[in-house]
Amino acid sequence: MISILIVNHDGRDHLQHCLKRLAGQRGSYGEIVVVDNASTDGSADMVRDSFPGCRLLALEENLGFGTANNRAAAEARGDRLLLLNSDAWLEDGALAALDAALDAEPRLALAAPRLLYPDGRLQFAWAPETGVAGEAIQMLRNRFESSRWAHRVPPRWLWPLWGPGWYSAACVLMRREAFEQVRGFDEGIFMYFEDVDLCVRLRHAGWRLGSVDSAVAYHVKGGSRPSGRGEVEYRRAQLYYYRKHRPAWENRYLRSRMRGKFSRWPDAELRPALQELLREP
């Protein structure tokens, strides 16, 4: 059975649209578990009133994306878990295609669809393994997001440099066995890099990751450049990920780059919070 896990924080309108789209595909999944991360926009009440068939976990504090998904997975009954952002939805037949991919390959931990923006433009569903080289390649690749060639998975011999090191958790079908083997998302990450970290741990545990081009999902995407608290959380997660997974020289390089960037940060109010990150262990 497929359990759909949706984490929401102050995204009432997107969540409502997502759930309406799922209501029209009822035969393709067993249940929907919505975790509301202490929203203040009436999201939880909307789910209770308009979608009583959903299982709602209304949290009193915002635990972050990964931790909330872990809570949802613990409550879910399915042996397959669709991680779905509240601002994303699937085309008809997409979930069946993802499910068939897991059926066909027992060591496939997750299957990702082709991602599109709501207006039909291509959106990246995967990126090279995150590190100094991988992030540099992705920055270059970002310039060509609208080009089909940038989305093609290259031959396997190129994967160490330019292959799918991780897939976006905006929409991905996971095998519960794999999710539980690596103990789900790392709850040391509040937001950002949690899907990167999860995919690295899955690969290290011997699982494969893959995509299904015939399965299509749409993702609004809140924007690639965070600001305010989002910028701080992004950098905190980036540092955490590098400490956990990358060699010492990459950590030193990243911190050196950040030290120079943060000292010149244009937002004077945000600058101390960013600089404080470099003093954290």
**How many CB atoms neighbour CB 265 within 10 A?**
15
Q: Looking at beta carbons, which pairs linking 240-243 to residues 24 or more positions away fall under 8 Å?
A: 240/188, 240/189, 240/193, 241/130, 241/189, 241/193, 241/196, 241/197, 242/131
> In the CATH hierarchy, which top-level class contains the domain 2-114+165-219?
alpha beta
Q: What pLDDT, in 10s, does the model give residues 166-192?
A: 999 999 999 999 999 999 999 999 999
pLDDT for the residue numbered 8: 95
113 three-state secondary structure: strand
Helix ranges (DSSP H) in the chain: 12-23, 43-50, 65-75, 94-104, 132-142, 159-162, 176-181, 194-204, 229-245, 248-263, 271-277
Distance of CA 29 to the CA centre of its chain: 20
What gap in Å lies between CA 175 and CA 195, rounded to an integer? 15
Which of 220, 210, 3 is closest to 105 using CA atoms?
A: 210
What proportion of the chain, given as a percentage, has pLDDT over 70?
Answer: 95
| Domains in the chain: boundaries | 2-114+165-219, 229-277
pLDDT for the residue numbered 238: 96
Split at pLDDT 50, 70, 90, the class of 6 is very high
pLDDT for the residue numbered 147: 86
Reply yes or no on whether the pLDDT at 223 is more than 50: no
